């Protein structure tokens, strides 16, 4: 496959950046991949394992002469990073990101993008509970979705090229309007993570159930909660602080549904519970039919060291 960008700079060298680098290398899509992370330990590890072609000690060194710059840091850090690299971006370069919130990122990053540089936000809906430079793998994006949320004024040829890059590394792509993106992600990712954190916290706080019992008797449902709740705390803190409006809207709707189920249980309304569970079961079937998971009892994960989940 032909090179799509002569030089790609990845800022932040965790799961998503590492997987993106490995996927680009797998497809021969970048002439050179540079990388930068704030932590010296992270940079040393990335250099040791050859995660990118060249690890840089500064962000501005990493973006020098880059055709594509991808911000792979927590969304709360993107504005300051964009301001730092702005004077060093070359004319015609594309700046993108992988954040799971878009309105706040566009508001934070957009004002720092120089004239002649194109800002095209994106969000790969893939991830795992693991983090750090050793957690990446080239197959992470295979048959997952990457949402493209172009900023105002982004040139169509550059939007199309970024879409083609994501498709070339195995992802499906769809363009989405910014507010709708943040609402969709609140439903399919942000609130589920909040619920997982909450349920694990409830178990931790419930003195009548010991820690050893939680660990020893965890059934699949609680195990999946703990896996999701093991996700990077910095990333998820920033997600909830920057996507307040959509998160609170969906959380309010969830609370209403929860109260309705609580009332059905209290009043013994088995018909309502059965109908509700039947309707929600169909959603699971739809996810399987769409090829986004498997019907295997272990979700097909027994033979997979890494488990794909939405990235925010």
Q: What is the CATH number of the domain that holds 172?
A: 3.40.50.720
- Of all residues in the chain, the percent with pLDDT exceeding 70 is 90
What pLDDT does 234 receive? 87
pLDDT tens digits along 26-42: 999 999 999 999 999 99
Residues 47 and 154 in one domain: yes
Per-residue pLDDT for 303 more than 50?
A: no
- Of all residues in the chain, the percent with pLDDT exceeding 90 is 69
Residues 103 and 196 in one domain: no
Residues 142 and 233 in one domain: no
Residues 125 and 145 in one domain: yes
Per-residue pLDDT for 311 more than 70?
A: no
Residues 240 and 228 in one domain: yes
| Beta strand segments in the chain, E | 5-11, 30-36, 54-55, 68-71, 94-97, 118-119, 122-125, 145-148, 172-175
What pLDDT does 271 receive? 94
pLDDT tens digits along 137-175: 999 999 999 999 998 889 999 999 999 999 999 999 999
Number of structural domains (the chain) is: 2
Higher per-residue confidence, 114 vs 230: 114
Which residue range(s) make up the domain with 137?
5-176
> Are residues 96 and 70 in contact, defined by beta-carbon separation less than 8 angstroms?
yes
Name the pTM for this structure.
0.83
Residues 166 and 204 in one domain: no
46 assigned to some structural domain: yes
Separation between Cα atoms, residue 48 and residue 25, nearest integer Å: 17
């Amino acid at each position: 496959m032909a090179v799509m960008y002569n030089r790609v700079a990845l800022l932040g060298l965790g799961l998503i950046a590492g997987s993106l680098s490995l996927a680009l290398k797998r497809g021969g899509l970048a002439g050179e991949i540079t990388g930068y992370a704030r932590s010296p330990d992270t940079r040393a590890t990335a250099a040791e394992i050859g995660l990118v072609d060249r690890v840089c000690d500064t962000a501005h060194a990493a973006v020098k002469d880059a055709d594509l710059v991808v911000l792979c840091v927590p969304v709360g850090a993107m504005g300051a990073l964009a301001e730092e690299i702005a004077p060093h971006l070359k004319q015609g370069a594309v700046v993108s990101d992988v954040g799971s919130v878009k309105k706040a990122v566009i508001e934070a990053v957009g004002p720092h993008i120089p004239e002649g540089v194109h800002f095209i936000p994106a969000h790969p809906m893939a991830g795992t509970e693991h983090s750090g430079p050793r957690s990446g793998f080239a197959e992470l994006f295979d048959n997952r979705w990457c949402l493209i949320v172009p900023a105002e004024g982004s040139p169509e040829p550059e939007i199309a090229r970024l879409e083609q890059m994501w498709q070339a590394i195995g992802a499906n792509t769809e363009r989405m309007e910014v507010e709708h993106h943040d609402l969709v992600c609140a439903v399919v990712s942000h609130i589920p993570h909040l619920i997982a954190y909450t349920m694990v916290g409830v178990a931790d706080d419930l003195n009548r159930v010991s820690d050893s019992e939680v660990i020893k008797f965890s059934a699949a449902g609680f195990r999946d909660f703990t896996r999701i709740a093991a996700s990077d705390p910095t990333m998820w803190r920033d997600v909830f602080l920057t996507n307040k409006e959509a998160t609170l809207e969906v959380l309010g709707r969830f609370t209403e549904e929860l109260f309705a189920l609580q009332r059905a249980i209290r009043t013994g309304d088995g018909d309502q519970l059965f109908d509700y569970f039947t309707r929600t079961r169909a959603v699971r079937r739809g996810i399987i039919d769409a090829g986004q998971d498997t019907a295997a009892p272990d979700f097909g994960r027994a033979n997979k060291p890494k488990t794909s989940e939405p990235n925010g």
